[in-house]
Amino acid sequence: MEMLKAVSIKKEYGERFALDIEHLAISEGEILTCVGPNGSGKSTLIRILSLLEQPSAGRLFFRGREVQNLKGRRRLEVLRQMSVIFQDPIFFGRSVYDNVAVGLTFRRLSRAQKDQRVRQAIKEAGLEHLERADVSTLSGGEAQKVAFARAHALNTDLIFLDEPFANLDIEARRSYQAIVKNALKGRGKTAVFVTHDISEAAYLGDRVAVINEGSIVQAGAPSEVLFKPANAVVARFTGMENLLDGVVSSSSVGILTVRVDGGTIQAVGEEKAGTRLILGLRAEDIGLVPKDQLRLPSSFRNSYEAIVERVEPAGAVTRVFVKCPFSLVSYVTSRSAVEMGIVPGERIGVRFKATSVHVMGSGF
């Protein structure tokens, strides 16, 4: 059953279009993550879906009931079936306990009911040791946990989370992501997450919607969005660093030969000769080998001799920029980079499978 549905939602700020969503539905019990770069309209979308902001046009349905024009008591009634967690939590009281209780106070719950739910939420968020702590003394991560506990205590069926992990370091982020995911799934909640981090979106979401310039450019299962990006915008956003313009020069039994700038690449596809398209390649799918190895037989349909142009160590992995003669970026472990003696100006072998090449329609 659909919990929330947005149809032809538009939001304009003056002349500027901030949001233009043709159709978006969230099923009961589903976690939808909206991912996109900064300024893509994700936060505006959350404010509109959660009834905190009016759309300029369009219709919004909550459990089948049209809600965007509700006023007063009726709007409040719907509003109280949702809760929203923002990136920078705003606190109202002094202690962690008071802040977790605030939404229940708004709902005028009895002291006993409130106490029981506040304690439960504090426990699930792992904040028991901070129950009496002053919120002004909390770290960014602790503050965000309080913000989550505050919404979780309300036990609403629908929860919106706007970049709830933004202020956390990687370690804290991972543990908190797991806490939130378990808490939501454990209670069968429906949630809409907003993040600019594709890996976070893929981990948390049952479904991922990629938003760019106010519109949804692709929505689907995390693996679909990650491995079958619908276009170059999504591909780039999901971390596909190599995008090449090309024209199909020949096509036979599902294998395309595509002419790209200065060379050819073999890919899997059914496009006809002459079709313009974009080829996408993940840096981690491109193998670097000593150039002598290229002569040995292998299952790689694409192999080239290349020159290392630039080397960027990034912790455990190293990004290697090569020219073969088109430019590519590859990841190798930093240990391999040292062992293979990969340095700028060195000649090296580059190879990747035809199945690693993502074929997308042209039109950036």
Partner 1 sequence: MKVILDVFKEAFLLILRLDSEFLSVLSLSILVSGSASILAALFGVPFGVALAEGNFKGKRLLLTLTHAFMALPPVVAGLVVFLILMRSGPLGSLRLIFTPASMIIVQTILAFPIVAGLTHASVSSVDPRYEIQARGLGASRLQAVVVKVRQARMGVVAAVIAGFGRVLAEVGAVMIVGGNIKSQTRVLTTHLLLYARQGKYEMALADGIVLIMLSVLINAFLTKAQFQRARTQIAQRITSYPS
The reply on whether position 54 binds partner 1 by CB under 8 A is: no
Q: Which of 10, 59, 61, 105 contacts partner 1 by CB under 8 A? A: 105
Quickly tell me which residue has 């760019």 as its tokens. Answer: 212
Which residues, 115 to 174, sit near partner 1 by CB under 8 A?
150-151, 154, 156, 160
The residue count for binding partner 1 (CB under 8 A) is 32
> Measured from the CB atom, is 82 or 277 closer to partner 1?
82
Which range, of 47-55, 247-255, 317-325, 331-339, touches partner 1 by CB under 8 A? Answer: 47-55
- The overall longest dimension of the chain from CA atoms, in Å, is 78
Q: Comparing C-alpha atoms, which of 103, 10, 102, 23 is closest to residue 61? A: 23
Which range, of 74-82, 224-232, 236-244, 265-273, touches partner 1 by CB under 8 A? Answer: 74-82
Instruction: State the Cα–Cα distance between residues 55 and 68, nearest whole angstrom.
Output: 8
Which range, of 87-95, 125-133, 226-234, 337-345, touches partner 1 by CB under 8 A? Answer: 87-95
Tell the smallest beta-carbon distance from residue 192 to partner 1 (Å): 13
CB 282 within 8 Å of CB 332: no
State the DSSP string of 144-201.
Answer: HHHHHHHHHHHT-SEEEEESTTTTS-HHHHHHHHHHHHHHHHHTT-EEEEEES-HHHH
Tell the smallest beta-carbon distance from residue 95 to partner 1 (Å): 8
> Measured from the CB atom, is 86 or 176 closer to partner 1?
86
Instruction: State the Cα–Cα distance between residues 79 and 160, nearest whole angstrom.
Output: 12
Both tokens assigned to 302: 């694409």
Which range, of 59-67, 106-114, 122-130, 192-200, touches partner 1 by CB under 8 A? Answer: 106-114
Our measurement of the distance from residue 163's CA atom to the centroid of its chain's CA atoms, rounded to an integer in Å, reads: 10
**What is the SS3 assignment for 355?**
helix
Residues that bind partner 1 (CB under 8 A): 47, 50, 52, 72, 76, 79-80, 82-86, 88-90, 92-94, 97-98, 101-103, 105-108, 150-151, 154, 156, 160
